[in-house]
Amino acid sequence: MALKSMVMEFGTGTDIRGGDYTKAAVRALENALRHNTITFAQAFDVARETMHVKIAIGVAKPDQVDRNAVASMLPYGQAEVTVHQGGMDVPNEAGTDATVLANAAVTVYLDLSEDRTSGAA
**What is the pLDDT, as a whole number, of residue 18?**
85
How far apart are the C-alpha atoms of 80 and 35, rounded to whole Å? 20
The domain spans of the chain are: 3-113
**What is the pLDDT, as a whole number, of residue 44?**
78
How far apart are the C-alpha atoms of 83 and 86, rounded to whole Å? 9
Minimum mean pLDDT range among 24-28, 58-62, 109-113 = 109-113
pLDDT (average), residues 67-96 = 93
Four-way CATH pick for 3-113: 3.30.1330.20, 3.10.20.30, 3.40.640.10, 1.10.10.10 = 3.30.1330.20
Greatest extent of the chain over all pairs of C-alpha atoms, in Å: 61
How far apart are the C-alpha atoms of 22 and 104, rounded to whole Å? 12
Cβ 77 vs Cβ 49: under 8 Å: yes
| Full-model pTM | 0.86
